[in-house]
């Protein structure tokens, strides 16, 4: 069935706009149509239709998710600037900044080259697409634009069809799904499958056709039975037989199920007015038809992250046939079809309410972005931290000469770009050309810059100054790595020379030294002689200190061990599976750095703007005023990781106290991560960050420290 409307008229669109009552808004839509009509006049689509049919269809699709008048205007105008960018000015003058920015937004993302082959690239593209849209309405237009193009995809050659279909499945349907726009999502999926894997698609269609009359009869019969039960109990309702989407059947076949096993081919949907009635209906159906326990899902009490709500159950229905039954209110159904777009409906219009809705949508979008970030599976915690910082800062989007998009934080330079493309490109870079002009390497890149990096394979590598010119941690690290490799070799050489010189002075033979070196390495916790040479070479340890150790001067040794033990930076583990957030499975969880909770501490979650949930100790004063953002969280019962926490130690004297404290950790399963000494004339304060498995262990440790002489007080620190 062709869903596109090749003969759509503006009058038909106007009829669909009956949810908009404001006369001025309706007039502006007419004006946008006239503008687009004139600008596209004479232009044809590949299908042979007048071009205006495309923007009209896009606008028509948007009325089905009740888009507001600005979105409708922008959708009518969206393609006029394709050939003539000077029209942006006219759009601004005639339709204002809001509509202009929507038109700009959709054209910006339509220019992107979003094909990718690995999951990492694809999910990055999804992220970029979402990141580029400051306004969620741009995504609505993009989805509608693509839907109409998919409906007329038959016009393109097969290779192009497959490409578009794959891009739609990879990038756009997941976005539609996250935004909860069920109506657009499932049509896009079915259309994509039809072109991407036509064999399977038509096999499913044929199978469905063969069994159609039998299934139809069963559904009608079951509908009547259920309706009788509900009528007897005075529950006002509607029941619809439900066609499973072809794509959802394909997914199940793809998982290895046989066609005959896909039981939810028989499906009913029951609509009622209230939430209570949903559960009532569920109870009544279960009392008559035996349910399959594992197939019951309560998305009413626990909505999906895209706001979807419904009760799902599978029961043995008439003649023992399995029926998948969904029970929901009309309002839940509206959200299931419209998702995030349901907030834009005109039902609740009114100035204050509208601002409120806008805010809600933005929060959801933030939430959605966070989830997208999570999908970027990186396991290295440090880089997760850096990446999320970079994502949260504002980004720019620049292009390779081939049109591939690269996302970089604001302030990035050609150095960041080169290392993002490939470290080989960075290391061999000799110059950069931005938009056809040569630029210095500290040039600050701007949105939409096209960058070409000149390389020379005989280049000796980056310059040390580049570390300061680069903005991203990725580029800085890669440059540092380059030098670390070179430096290490030099340090080893230098260290070995210094040691040999000292041996000559002390008239000690090299062999004598080697005889003692095993014990020395053990004392210093070095792996091999190279590590020792490196430490000498870069002045971490002096040759005099080494001979002091060999001559058994213990104090020096302890100092060195202490230095080594406390030289680490604090690494906070990824708390993802250790914290249970009530009702939500897939959300980013961070441990608060102010109060640093450890397992078994009493905790609460704080919903941040766009960065998931931060877990604080429940006594943390930093969260007390923000009650509406608080959410229940719990520690998982089995946690294998250790968490950092900071304690503050007050001592009356500073004699060797640090060593005493550190010695309390070596015997136990506590690791010192950093020590900060804050000494003043009357106080000796130590701020110590330790890694500990749980609260009980921490209390024991605090008691142990308390028992050390000259310790006045020990407390956990909250910043």
**Among the candidate windows 144-152, 391-399, 494-502, 558-566, which touches Mn ion by CB under 5 A?**
144-152
Stretch that binds Mn ion, among 4-12, 141-149, 514-522, 529-537 (CB under 5 A): 141-149
- CB-nearer residue toward Mn ion: 145 or 277: 145
CB of 83 to Mn ion, least distance (A): 12
Quick one: CA torsion of 618, 623, 624, 629, rounded to 10 degrees?
-100
Tell me how far, at minimum, the Cβ of 331 lies from Mn ion, in Å: 32
CA distance 329 to 275: 7
Minimal distance in Å, beta carbon 480 to Mn ion?
Answer: 46
Site for Mn ion in 395-424 (CB under 5 A): none
Q: Where are the alpha helices (DSSP H) in 506-553?
A: 510-524, 529-537, 543-550
Q: How far is the CB of 150 from Mn ion (least distance, A)?
A: 12
The minimum distance between CB 54 and Mn ion, in angstroms, equals 6
CB nearer to Mn ion: pick between 79 and 337 = 79
CA angle, residues 149, 150, 152, in degrees to nearest 5: 70
Least Å distance between CB 572 and Mn ion?
46
Residue 535: other Cβ atoms inside 10 A: 20
Cβ count near 684 (within 10 Å): 20
Radius of gyration of the chain (CA): 33
Cα gap 60→416, rounded to integer Å: 43
Residue nearest to Mn ion (CB): 145
Question: Applying CB under 5 A, which part among 113-121, 145-153, 588-596, 650-658 lies near Mn ion?
Answer: 145-153
By the 8 A CB rule, do 212 and 243 touch? no
Given the complex with Mn ion, which of 79 and 578 has the nearer CB atom?
Answer: 79
Name the token pair of 655: 């004699």
65 in helix, strand or coil?
coil
Q: What's 582-601 look like in SS3?
A: CCECCCCEEECCCCCCCCCC
Nearer to Mn ion, 84 or 653 (CB): 84
> Least CB distance from residue 78 to Mn ion, whole Å?
6
Is there a contact between 195 and 388 (Cβ–Cβ < 8 Å)? no
Q: Which is nearer to Mn ion, 55 or 597 (CB)?
A: 55
Nearest distance from C-beta of residue 103 to Mn ion, angstroms: 11
CA distance 283 to 269: 15
- Binding to Mn ion in span 30-89, by CB under 5 A: 79
Could you tell me how many residues of this chain bind Mn ion (CB under 5 A)?
A: 2
Q: Closest Cα to residue 394, out of 381, 407, 403, 385?
A: 407
Of 371, 338, 340, 372, nearest to 358 by C-alpha is 340
Least distance to Mn ion from the beta carbon of 377, Å?
33
Smallest separation, CB 58 to Mn ion (Å): 6
368-372-376 Cα angle (round to 5): 165
Dist. CA 661–CA 706, nearest whole Å: 10
Q: Which is nearer to Mn ion, 4 or 79 (CB)?
A: 79
Tell whether residue 135 is a contact of Mn ion (CB under 5 A). no
Min dist. Cβ of residue 111 to Mn ion (A): 12
* All residues at 6 or more sequence positions from 696 whose CB lies less than 8 Å from its CB, including other chains: 600
Which residues are CB-contacts of 556 (< 8 A; sequence separation ≥ 6)? 545, 548, 549
b/e string for 384-419 if b means 16 or more Cβ within 10 A? Answer: bebbbebbbeebbbbbeeeebbbbbbeebbbbbbbb
Q: State which residue, 43 or 203, has the beta carbon closest to Mn ion.
A: 43
Q: Identify which of residues 150 and 589 has a Cβ nearer to Mn ion in the complex.
A: 150
Min separation Cβ 57 and Mn ion, Å? 9
If the CB atoms of residues 141 and 239 are measured against Mn ion, the closer one turns out to be 141
Of the residues 49, 68, 104, 145, which one makes contact with Mn ion according to CB under 5 A: 145
Instruction: Considering the complex, state which of residue 133 and residue 546 has its C-beta at the smaller distance from Mn ion.
Output: 133
Q: Which stretch binds Mn ion (CB under 5 A): 12-20, 37-45, 138-146, 460-468?
A: 138-146
Q: How distant, in Å, are the alpha carbons of 216, 371, 388, 397 from that of 123?
A: 40, 11, 15, 16
Residue that has been written with the tokens 């039960």 in this structure: 229
Residue closer to Mn ion by CB (options 149, 472) is 149
Binding segment (CB under 5 A) for Mn ion, from list 137-145, 502-510, 651-659, 702-710: 137-145
User: 145 vs 373, which CB is nearer to Mn ion?
Assistant: 145
Residue with tokens 């205006």: 52
The residues, any chain, with a CB within 8 Å of residue 301's CB and separated by 6 or more, are none
Residues within the interface to Mn ion (CB under 5 A): 79, 145
């Amino acid at each position: 069935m062709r869903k596109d409307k090749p003969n759509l008229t503006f009058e038909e669109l106007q009829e669909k706009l009956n949810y908009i009552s404001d006369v001025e808004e309706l007039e502006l839509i007419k004006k946008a149509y006239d503008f687009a009509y004139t600008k596209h006049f004479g232009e044809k689509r590949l299908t042979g239709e007048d071009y205006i049919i495309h923007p009209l269809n896009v606008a028509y699709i948007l009325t089905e998710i009740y888009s507001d008048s600005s979105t409708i205007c922008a959708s009518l105008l969206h393609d006029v600037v394709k050939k003539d960018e000077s029209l942006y000015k006219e759009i601004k003058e005639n339709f204002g900044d809001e509509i202009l920015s929507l038109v700009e937004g959709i054209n910006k993302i339509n220019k992107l080259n979003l094909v990718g082959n690995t999951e990492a690239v694809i999910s990055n593209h999804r992220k970029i697409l979402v990141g580029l849209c400051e306004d969620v309405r741009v995504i609505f237009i993009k989805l509608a634009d693509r839907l109409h193009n998919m409906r007329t995809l038959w016009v393109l050659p097969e290779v192009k069809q497959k490409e578009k279909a794959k891009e739609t499945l990879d990038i756009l349907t997941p976005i539609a799904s996250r935004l909860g726009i069920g109506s657009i999502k499932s049509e896009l999926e079915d259309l994509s499958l039809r072109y991407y894997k036509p064999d399977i698609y038509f096999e499913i269609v044929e199978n469905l056709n063969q069994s159609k009359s039998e299934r139809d009869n069963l559904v009608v019969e079951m509908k009547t039975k259920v309706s009788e039960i509900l009528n007897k109990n005075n529950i006002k309702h509607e029941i619809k037989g439900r066609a499973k989407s072809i794509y959802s059947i394909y997914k199940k076949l793809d998982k290895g199920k046989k066609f005959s096993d896909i039981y939810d081919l028989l499906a009913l949907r029951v609509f009622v007015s209230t939430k209570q009635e949903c559960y009532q209906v569920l109870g009544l159906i279960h009392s008559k038809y035996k349910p399959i326990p594992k197939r019951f899902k309560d998305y009413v009490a626990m909505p999906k992250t895209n706001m979807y709500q419904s009760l799902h159950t599978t029961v043995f229905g008439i003649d023992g046939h399995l029926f998948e039954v969904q029970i929901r209110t009309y309002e839940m159904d509206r959200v299931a079809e419209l998702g995030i777009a349901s907030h834009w409906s005109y039902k609740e219009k009114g100035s204050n309410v509208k601002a409120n809705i806008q805010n809600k949508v933005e929060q959801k979008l933030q939430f959605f972005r966070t989830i997208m970030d999570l999908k970027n599976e990186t396991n290295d915690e440090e880089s997760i931290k850096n990446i999320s910082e970079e994502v949260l800062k504002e980004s720019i989007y620049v292009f390779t000469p081939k049109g591939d998009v690269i996302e970089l934080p604001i302030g990035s330079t050609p150095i960041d770009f080169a290392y993002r493309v490939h470290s080989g490109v960075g290391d061999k870079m000799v110059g950069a050309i931005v938009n056809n002009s040569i630029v210095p390497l500290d040039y600050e890149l701007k949105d939409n810059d096209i960058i070409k990096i000149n390389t020379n394979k005989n280049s000796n590598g980056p310059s040390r100054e580049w570390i300061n010119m680069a903005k991203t941690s990725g580029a800085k690290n890669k440059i540092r790595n380059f030098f670390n490799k070179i430096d290490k070799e030099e340090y080893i050489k230098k260290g070995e020379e210094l040691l040999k010189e000292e041996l000559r002075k002390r008239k000690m033979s090299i062999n004598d030294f080697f005889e003692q070196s095993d014990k020395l390495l053990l004392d210093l916790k070095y792996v091999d002689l190279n590590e020792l040479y490196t430490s000498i070479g870069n002045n971490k340890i002096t040759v005099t200190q080494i001979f002091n150790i060999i001559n058994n001067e213990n104090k020096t040794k302890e100092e060195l061990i202490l230095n080594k033990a406390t030289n680490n930076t604090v690494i906070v583990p990824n708390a993802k599976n250790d914290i249970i957030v009530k009702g939500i499975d897939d959300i980013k969880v961070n441990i608060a750095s102010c109060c640093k909770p450890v397992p078994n501490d009493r905790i609460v979650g704080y919903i941040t703007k766009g960065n998931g949930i931060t877990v604080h100790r429940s006594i943390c004063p930093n969260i007390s005023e923000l009650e509406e953002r608080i959410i229940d969280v719990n520690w998982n019962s089995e946690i294998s990781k250790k968490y950092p926490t900071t304690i503050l130690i007050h001592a009356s004297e500073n004699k060797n106290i640090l060593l005493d404290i550190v010695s309390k950790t070596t015997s136990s399963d506590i690791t010192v991560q950093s020590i900060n000494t804050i000494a003043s004339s009357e106080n000796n304060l130590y701020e110590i960050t330790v890694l500990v498995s749980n609260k009980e262990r921490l209390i024991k440790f605090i008691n142990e420290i308390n028992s050390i002489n000259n310790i006045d007080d020990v407390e956990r620190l909250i910043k």
